[in-house]
Chains A and B, each alone.
Chain A
């Protein structure tokens, strides 16, 4: 086991609309080691982005962070201290979003955007040009070609690389990448992810890779959490989860992954993510679950260690590990 770098504990988030409170992230836990690539997988609306954004102090206005703690590099803060958590940004945590073209400010040249981050880090002015060129090279771009261009003049792949240059400018120990490749075509996607893993090794940087595509994540990650409807249903080492998926949802997800080497019948998952009210405690997968039983009414059980990783499901309650 490596050294723990980033940790989320018992994070719960609510939204309130029209007098009804809904829990959109429930009791979430997550731990990432230094230099690890960690996958966070779930359908859209499962709360994966929301929880990660809240963990760095960027919870959208209107969201209520009810409980939880976030630890990063030895510093622990309550999750409700969003302002304090934002302090981690530019001090070791960086983010990458899916819509890179929209993520770059449309009013500044790409070079200037990178320079802003350096200025924030108090890099003296004369040293900046060299460092910008260096960062552009790191992400595989040529400053002379692109540095004077505006985001609307470059391609989506280039924009994602510029965004990466911005993110790398603060020299982070953790990069949270929220579906960074969704807007890109398949070849660019592979290229970018390979490239991310390379940087990760070179700079000893950890990555939390948020994705809805399990097969994509499985190629690059060593750790994995599966989220469903705001709850982590299964977590642990990627190998172990793929070898023995336990939670009915994980089983469904893996059954839905096409495999070129061993073709099998793809089984689509029935139903969609739940948008339940707060006062309903029962397991949020129970309405789509083929193994539903009376005990599901009592809600999601705490983590049960089994088969080398952890699962949250009543099916495994009381069984020997």
Chain B
């Protein structure tokens, strides 16, 4: 821009002061949004807890002992369950399992869904029509019931839950990425790449794919929150992750039978951890959306 000609006195006095890296991160990634930071910090604590879970547990999470239904105490921070197992240790172990299941499931859905969406948006034509109608139909099914059926069909276990998480989330990414590819593929820089002799493959992966990062990050974190919840719902309904493998949903379900006896810690503690996990992911996703989604604009 030649708007500021050379007659102009340098503006050094008014330049923003050089900022520290945490400042840059705060204003850069979250646009100065404290909620996003709270979300990330919470999530980091939970993730670290999950990763270092095996070193943090105070008891064997699946060892049955005679100390049944003990309230929270110094020995058992969150009490014990109906088999005398330590609720704290089980909660931490579950967190690890649930993070892995949801994380792997959502990542799988992102990879496969984006690929489908990218191809649909780029190739178009009958293939696009077919896939999108299919996506429409899949999305008109009640997903939680379909997920239940699929898990039962695949047989109970952690692997089935992962596969089902992948399957039911593919349509989301296929649709989002297709839209993104459609809106970008007619832009000038793609034409420019094509004119300079780039192959179709390289256009697809080097020019279109990088543009889908923002929507994937936004949807990914919100979707991860939903996936953690759905995994828990399935195990709460007694499908998927089965006892004695600890899982937050299973623990809440088991605890409901002992509410009558006042053993609230069995349900409420793992559920609270579950809710906090989902909350932190949603906070982060919301902050990222506010920051990266042009439609939401600056707030």
Q: Using a CB–CB distance below 8 Å, which chain A residues touch chain B?
A: 17-20, 271-272, 274, 277, 279-280, 282, 286-287, 292, 297
Within 8 A of A (CB), among B6-24: 7-9, 11, 13-14, 16
**Is B196 part of the binding interface, using a Cβ–Cβ cutoff of 8 Å?**
no
A14 vs chain B, min Cβ distance (A): 15
B14/A17 in contact, CB under 8 A: no
Check A17/B11 contact, CB under 8 A, given A271-B3, A272-B3, A287-B3.
Answer: no
Q: Closest residue of chain B to A289, judged by CB?
A: B7
Interface flag for B197 (CB, 8 Å): no
Give the chain A neighbours of B11 by CB distance below 8 A: 280
What is the CB-to-nearest-CB distance from B16 to chain A, in angstroms, rounded to a whole number? 8
B5 on the interface (CB 8 Å rule)? yes
13 example contacts (A-B, Cβ-Cβ < 8 A) are as follows: A18-B32, A271-B5, A277-B14, A279-B13, A279-B14, A280-B11, A280-B14, A286-B8, A287-B3, A287-B4, A287-B5, A287-B8, A292-B7
- What are the residues of chain B within 8 A of A272 when measuring CB–CB? 3
Q: B298 within 8 Å of A by Cβ? A: yes
Residues in B whose Cβ lies below 8 Å from that of A20:
16
Chain B residues closer than 8 Å to A297, beta-carbon distance: 9
Query: Hey, which chain A residues are within 8 Å of B4, CB to CB?
Result: 287
- B28 → chain A closest CB, angstroms: 11
**Which residues of the partner chain A approach B9 to less than 8 Å between Cβ atoms?**
282, 297
Minimum Cβ distance to chain B for residue A64 (Å): 16
Alpha-carbon distance A277/B9, docked complex (angstroms): 14
| Size bin of chain B's contact surface | 10 to 19
A44 vs chain B, min Cβ distance (A): 15
Given the interface pairs A272-B3, A287-B7, A297-B9, the reply to whether A19 lies near B32 with Cβ below 8 Å is yes
Minimum distance in angstroms from B68 CB to a CB of chain A: 57
A interface majority secondary structure: loop
Partner of A17, one of B3, B13, B27, B298: B298
Compute how far the CA of A292 lies from the CA of B5 in the bound complex, rounded to whole angstroms.
12
Identify the 7 closest CB pairs spanning chains A and B, nearest first: A279-B14, A277-B14, A287-B8, A271-B3, A292-B7, A287-B4, A272-B3
A residues within 8 A CB of B31? 18
CB distance from A107 to the nearest CB of B (A): 24
Which residues of B have CB within 8 Å of A286?
A: 7-8
**Majority SS at the chain B contact face:** loop
State the Cβ distance, B107 to closest chain A Cβ, in Å. Answer: 33
A20 to B7 CA separation, bound complex (whole angstroms): 24
How far in angstroms is the closest Cβ of chain A from B8? Answer: 6
Least distance between B22 CB and chain A CB atoms (Å):
15
Q: In the complex, which of the residues A17, A272, A287, A297 has the most CB atoms of chain B within 10 Å of its own CB atom? A: A287
CB distance from B288 to the nearest CB of A (A): 17
> Which residue on A lies nearest to B7, using beta carbons?
A292
A272→B298 CA distance, assembly (Å): 25
Q: Given the complex, which residues of B lie within 8 Å of A18, measured CB to CB?
A: 27, 31-32, 298
| A-contact 0/1 string along B25-69, CB 8 Å cutoff | 001000110000000000000000000000000000000000000
Complex Cα spacing A154 to B23, Å: 54
Q: How far is the CB of A133 from chain B (nearest CB, A)?
A: 43
CB of B234 to closest CB in A, whole Å: 44
CA distance A280 to B185 in the complex (A): 43
User: Which residue of chain B has its CB nearest to the CB of A280?
Assistant: B14
CB distance from A20 to the nearest CB of B (A): 8
In Å, the complex CA distance between A18 and B32 comes to 8
User: What does the 1/0 interface line of B184-209 toward A look like (CB < 8 Å)?
Assistant: 00000000000000000000000000
With both beta carbons as reference points, the residue of chain B lying nearest to A271 in the complex is identified as: B3
* B32: A residues at CB distance < 8 A: 18-19
In the bound complex, how far is the Cα of B27 from the Cα of A126, in angstroms?
Answer: 60
- Cα–Cα, bound, A17→B299 (Å): 10
A279 to B3, CA, bound (A): 19
Residues of A within 8 A of B3 (CB): 271-272, 274, 287
Considering the complex, give the chain A residue whose CB is closest to the CB of B8. Answer: A287
For A282, what are the chain B residues with a Cβ–Cβ distance below 8 Å?
9
CA distance A237 to B169 in the complex (A): 69
Shortest CB-to-CB span from B236 to chain A, Å, is 44
Q: 20 new A-B pairs (CB below 8 Å) besides A19-B27, A297-B9? A: A17-B298, A18-B27, A18-B31, A18-B32, A18-B298, A19-B16, A19-B32, A20-B16, A272-B3, A274-B3, A277-B14, A279-B13, A279-B14, A280-B11, A286-B7, A286-B8, A287-B4, A287-B5, A287-B7, A287-B8
